[in-house]
Amino acid sequence: DWAAANGKQPLAVIKGWATHSMKPEYFTMAPEVAVKKLLTKIGWGIGDVDFFELNEAFAVVSLYNNHALGLDGSNVNVRGGAVAIGHPLGASGARILVTLLHTLKQEGKTKGIASLCNGGGEATALAIEMV
């Protein structure tokens, strides 16, 4: 509403979000559960998602979550993940979301999920859809 009233066109809308917490030593697995909760919440299947940005504080995070979610990697972190392009302290979420937005726009796709572990065994997942 604000965007329309001010002559702005949104790039995307947030379709939903989900979080998950587990024991801190299992933090690498938390994104899987957050993503699955999110998909259920918004009624998307894993195949409905055009691109994923899954933070990889460590390479094992990406390897585990790709496997656990049944992803082949062809639509995950396609511009390079944190291991390749950086893991900015306190700004990973912004980096992941902006990378996902630009990937969707550049590839002419519409649906994406961004997820990251928050530390301490927690993870957040966010679904966006381009408008």
Average pLDDT over residues 15-26: 96
* 5 within some domain: no
Per the structure block, which two tokens stand in for 12? 């995307």
pLDDT on residue 80: 85
Domain that holds residue 63: 11-130
Average pLDDT over residues 61-78: 94
Question: Residue 88: is its pLDDT beyond 90?
Answer: no
The total number of structural domains in the chain stands at 1
* 23 within some domain: yes
* 6 within some domain: no
* 3 within some domain: no
List all residues 6 or more positions away from 20 whose beta carbon is below 8 Å from its beta carbon: 30, 31, 33, 34, 37, 122, 123
Q: Are 28 and 117 in contact (CB under 8 A)?
A: yes
Average pLDDT over residues 28-49: 97
Comparing 72 with 84, which gets the higher pLDDT? 72
Question: C-alpha distances in angstroms, 49 versus 5, 22, 75?
Answer: 31, 25, 9
With cut-offs at 50, 70 and 90, classify the pLDDT of residue 93. Answer: confident
* 37 within some domain: yes
Domain CATH for 84: 3.40.47.10
Length of the chain: 131
pLDDT on residue 119: 76
Comparing 32 with 118, which gets the higher pLDDT? 32
Whether pTM > 0.85 for this model: the answer is: yes
Helix (H) or strand (E) holding 18: strand 12-21
DSSP 76: B
Give CA–CA dist 51/29, Å, rounded.
19
* 1 within some domain: no
* 26 within some domain: yes
Question: Residue 84: is its pLDDT beyond 80?
Answer: no
pLDDT on residue 83: 75
* 86 within some domain: yes
The residue type of 19 is T
